[in-house]
Amino acid sequence: MNCSDINSKMQQFIDGLLSEKDAQDFMSHINACKACKSEYENTVKIIGDIKKYGQSLPDANINISELLYKSNLSLEDSNMKKKKNYLNKNFIKKFSSYAAVFLLGVFIYASFAGGLFNGLGQLIGSNYGESSSPSYQSDGQKSGSVKDESLENNTASDSSKNNVSSNFELSPDKIIYNSSMVLQVQNYDTAREGILNIVKQNNSFIQNEDKNISKVGSNEYYTSTFTIRVPAKNFADMNAALQKLGKVEYYTTYASNVTYEYNDLVSSTEQLKEQRANLLKLYKKANTVSELIEIENELTRVNTLISQNESTLKNYDRSIEYSTIQMSISEDVSKNSLVNPFSQIGQKIKSALINSSNALLKLLAFICLLIFKIIPFAAAAFIVYLIVRFVIKSRKKNINKNKNTDNNDEN
């Protein structure tokens, strides 16, 4: 028997339908031919598996080789589907990684490029006249309690007293007192007259006064801002007296301890004066013109520093001796006054349109700037995407090529 006869009579041999002579010839060929023996063993295994799961045996007329070929094709299709699913999952993972890196790059670039994302609110809000202003205290803070802005300087001042030159005597703590208040008064002239009387009684003086006139309906109302210098010993009494002139809308008092800075300037000035005295001695002993010029330059520098320190000390002394009160009074607008709500309505509409247009233009500029800053990252991400896509397609082509080669080899 040849291989073709073995293939056609294999099912009959398994079912025991061959004659004794044909069965012997079949077994002799199987033992001698490895290919037919392998196909026979696979066939027996398949038939055994079918019987195991309760399925009926195939019809005797079915070509066993055709059945095996279809089984191999089904196995290859299953392998191809698994490879395809693996490639798809791998692509999704890689693409997600690239996208995360891209977004991280955009965020870092925008953060270090001038706070791009932090400026949008300011771009829009700046058109409506928003300006920073100090936060006012609540009514519970109108008691006039003093806040020391540099209490920690007390400790530093005490610890530095041993290091100061013994040529001068340390002064007590140097504290500068300041206060600020806003009053609403019934009558401007009466309130102003009261301020002048209080200033005179406390041996103070008005350093500056600004007066503004505003119209509400047919009436004129006045607002003034005063800068008052008062002796430090009368500071608390004068604040209390001024608050009685009207309704307190805002009031705060604060103090600055400049003892450390003051003593440091005194010590520095003393040292500079000693240095100047030594330079003058050297000046008398100088023998050459170059030495004289060098000493004169150093004397000029030292004298300049001494003048600056003495000027700063005088300013400190004036601020310590005379405290400062910033005071604003405004006349109470009568609720019975007729106010025209359409006053300057055209100007207000024009201003609103201009502000809105500016905000819109700045928003568009912000968007354009954002787009141009993202373009380099988008281009890089697109290039990476093309590379990944090309690699995946190349792998698919190689897989299909290998599959076709295997099919050709089997045929």
Write out pLDDT tens, residues 26-53.
Answer: 888 888 888 888 888 888 888 777 766 5
- pLDDT, position 157: 41
Q: Residue 384: is its pLDDT beyond 50? A: yes
Tokens 């925008």: give the residue. 110
The residues, any chain, with a CB within 8 Å of residue 109's CB and separated by 6 or more, are 373, 377
Helical spans, DSSP H, in 150-228: 152-160, 188-201
Token pair recorded at residue 220: 């004129």
Q: Residue 276: is its pLDDT beyond 70? A: yes
Residue type, 117: F
The pTM is what? 0.40
Q: Residue 256: is its pLDDT beyond 70? A: yes
Q: What CA–CA distance (Å, rounded) separates 337 from 333?
A: 8
Token pair recorded at residue 291: 């030495």
Write out pLDDT tens, residues 114-157.
Answer: 444 444 444 444 444 443 333 333 333 333 443 444 434 444 44
CB 234 within 8 A of CB 132: no
Q: Quick one: what percent of the chain has pLDDT higher than 90?
A: 31
Q: What CA–CA distance (Å, rounded) separates 79 from 64?
A: 23
Token pair recorded at residue 272: 């500079």
Q: What CA–CA distance (Å, rounded) separates 7 from 111?
A: 76
Average pLDDT estimate for 232-256? 92
Average pLDDT estimate for 230-244? 93
Q: What share of the chain is helix, strand, coil (3-state, %, to 5)?
A: 65, 15, 20
Q: What CA–CA distance (Å, rounded) separates 47 from 284?
A: 126
Give the sheet arrangement for strand 322-331, strand by strand.
Answer: 146-148, 247-257, 175-185, 322-331, 219-231, 205-216
- pLDDT, position 117: 45
Q: Residue 318: is its pLDDT beyond 60? A: yes
Q: Residue 72: is its pLDDT beyond 60? A: no
Q: Of 327 and 63, which is predicted with more confidence?
A: 327
Q: Look up residue 2 and give its DSSP letter.
A: -
- pLDDT, position 201: 92
Q: Count CA atoms within 13 Å of residue 169 on its CB side.
A: 2
- pLDDT, position 111: 59
The SS3 assignment for 17 reads coil
Helical spans, DSSP H, in 211-323: 235-243, 259-285, 289-321
Average pLDDT estimate for 162-181? 67
